């Protein structure tokens, strides 16, 4: 659904000339070897970190959402809304971890996340699983077959604010998807096919068409779709029971979460590839780390996403191990190593860089 909203404005027809041909960068063998050898002991996902972090963030978010809905003091309600948005955003971002976790690493975590976060926010895990891993495929990253890539730095300037603002429509679009399109698709195969191909993945590439689910994912899709449909109609029914105000506040808050995630997506990469296959090192350099000392990045890029470039080197590394992995690599690799070139100071600098690229592109 979200990708369909972006298709008209963010087509590949807006692409200009690349500021640099990163796809020509050869692999830095020393860096890749260090990333493998220095972090072997960090690869185990720890349930004692995952569960409290995810569940605690979700429960804090729902409690703050209740405060925003029930609060009579405007300042208190606004503060609760801010806390709810940040907490639920963090809880939602665990879907990224789900796509990379080994099936047996954290028993029950996928089910728990879907029941506590995915279905209540109408973003069940099937919308990311089986999609995000395509973004990590060696020969698909940055190409037209990558569901999570658009050469944003090479597009026209107006596409950047539009890219973020369109995310505000995501919650209403998801509510419509699960309340209307899912039951309609159950009766009309052509609708079901179109919804699955174009409105069942958290992707930004309007050219992406999702293939039918297979194996275990197919079973998960069924119960998650049913759960999302039941919840969507529960939300709609709430209008007649308690009035529209709670749902409107919740949708507004979830729009803020979606916009924040879209802003993070905007600076997760440099978006400078023109569609050709890239080496692992080139993919790394087109991705972004925002490491300490800055602390605010933990709010807008939670659950390890501030180390997005490092994640592309080691996709299966648990989020809680990425800070230590980064420290080891920074200490071990010479200042001339390409590893340091993927580290950036913050969001504003990155937005400015991409915006400047769009404004200086060849006309």
**Considering the chain, what is the average pLDDT of its residues?**
91
pLDDT reported for residue 23:
54
pLDDT reported for residue 297:
96
pLDDT reported for residue 7:
38
Residue 148: how many other CB atoms lie within 10 Å: 23
Higher pLDDT, 8 or 135: 135
pLDDT reported for residue 146:
94
pLDDT reported for residue 361:
65
Nearest residue to 98 (alpha-carbon basis) of 84, 85, 115, 111: 111
Percent of the chain's residues with pLDDT above 70: 93
Higher pLDDT, 20 or 275: 275
pLDDT reported for residue 176:
98
pLDDT reported for residue 3:
44
Listed in sequence order, the DSSP H helices in the chain are: 2-7, 29-37, 47-70, 74-92, 94-100, 109-113, 132-135, 159-165, 170-176, 182-187, 189-198, 215-242, 245-266, 280-285, 297-300, 308-313, 322-332, 347-359
pLDDT reported for residue 24:
64
- Of 4-13, 67-76, 198-207, where does mean pLDDT reach its minimum? 4-13
Q: Quick one: pLDDT band at residue 8, thresholds 50, 70, 90?
A: very low
Q: Quick one: pLDDT band at residue 20, thresholds 50, 70, 90?
A: very low
Our measurement of the distance from residue 226's CA atom to the centroid of its chain's CA atoms, rounded to an integer in Å, reads 23
- The number of C-alpha atoms within 13 Å of 171 and in the hemisphere containing its C-beta is 20
pLDDT reported for residue 2:
45
**Residue indicated by tokens 């890539």:** 149
Nearest residue to 131 (alpha-carbon basis) of 77, 199, 67: 199
Q: Are 90 and 57 in contact (CB under 8 A)?
A: yes
pLDDT single digits (tens) 109-163: 999 999 999 999 999 999 999 899 999 998 899 999 999 999 999 999 999 999 9
Percent of the chain's residues with pLDDT above 90: 83
pLDDT single digits (tens) 253-264: 999 999 999 999
The CA–CA distances, whole Å, from 42 to 119, 289, 310, 314, 321 equal 31, 19, 14, 11, 6
d(CA 184, CA 177): 10
Which residues are 32's β-sheet partners?
none
Nearest residue to 307 (alpha-carbon basis) of 117, 35, 28: 35
pLDDT single digits (tens) 162-178: 999 999 999 999 999 99
173, two tokens: 């679009």
Mean pLDDT of 39-57: 96
pLDDT reported for residue 216:
86
Give one DSSP letter per residue of 141-181, joined into a string.
Answer: TTSTT-TT---GGGS-TTHHHHHHHGGGGHHHHHHHIIIII
d(CA 192, CA 182): 7
pLDDT single digits (tens) 233-272: 999 999 999 999 999 999 999 999 999 999 999 999 999 9
pLDDT reported for residue 6:
43
Nearest residue to 306 (alpha-carbon basis) of 317, 294, 314, 315: 294
Which residues are 289's β-sheet partners?
307, 343
Q: What are phi and psi of 108, to 5 degrees?
A: 85, -5
Q: What is the CA radius of gyration of the chain?
A: 20
The CA–CA distances, whole Å, from 133 to 18, 38, 156, 202, 229 equal 25, 24, 28, 12, 26
Mean pLDDT of 77-91: 97
d(CA 77, CA 83): 10
């Amino acid at each position: 659904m979200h990708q369909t909203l972006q298709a008209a404005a963010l087509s590949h027809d807006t692409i200009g000339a690349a500021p640099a041909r990163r796809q020509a960068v050869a692999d830095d063998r020393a860096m890749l070897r260090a990333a493998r050898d220095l972090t072997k002991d960090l690869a185990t996902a720890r349930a004692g970190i995952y569960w409290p972090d995810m569940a605690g963030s979700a429960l804090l978010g729902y409690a703050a959402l209740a405060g925003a809905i029930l609060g009579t003091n405007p300042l208190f309600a606004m503060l609760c809304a801010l806390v709810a948005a940040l907490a639920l955003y963090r809880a939602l971002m665990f879907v990224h971890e789900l796509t990379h976790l080994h099936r047996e690493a954290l028993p029950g975590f996928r089910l728990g996340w879907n029941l506590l976060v995915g279905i209540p926010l109408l973003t069940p895990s099937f919308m990311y699983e089986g999609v995000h891993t395509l973004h990590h495929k060696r020969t698909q990253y940055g190409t037209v077959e990558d569901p999570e890539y658009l050469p944003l730095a090479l597009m026209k300037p107006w596409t950047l604010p539009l890219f973020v603002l369109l995310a505000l429509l995501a919650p209403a679009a998801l509510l419509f998807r699960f309340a209307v399109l899912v039951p309609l698709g159950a009766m009309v195969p052509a609708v079901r096919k179109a919804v699955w191909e174009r409105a069942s993945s958290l992707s930004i590439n309007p050219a992406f068409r999702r293939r039918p689910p297979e194996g275990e994912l197919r079973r998960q899709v069924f119960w998650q779709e049913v759960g999302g449909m039941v919840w969507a109609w529960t939300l709609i029914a709430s209008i007649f029971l308690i009035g529209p105000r709670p749902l409107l506040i919740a949708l507004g808050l979830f729009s803020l979460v979606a916009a924040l995630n879209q802003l993070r997506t905007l600076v997760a990469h440099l978006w400078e590839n023109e569609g050709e296959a890239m080496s692992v090192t080139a993919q790394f350099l087109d991705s972004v780390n925002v490491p300490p000392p800055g602390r605010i990045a933990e709010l807008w890029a939670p659950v390890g996403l501030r180390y997005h470039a490092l994640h592309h080197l080691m996709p299966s590394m648990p989020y809680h191990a990425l800070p230590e992995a980064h420290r080891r690599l920074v200490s071990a690799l010479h200042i001339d190593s390409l590893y340091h070139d993927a580290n950036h100071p913050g969001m504003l600098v990155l937005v400015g860089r991409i915006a400047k690229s769009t404004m200086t592109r060849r006309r």
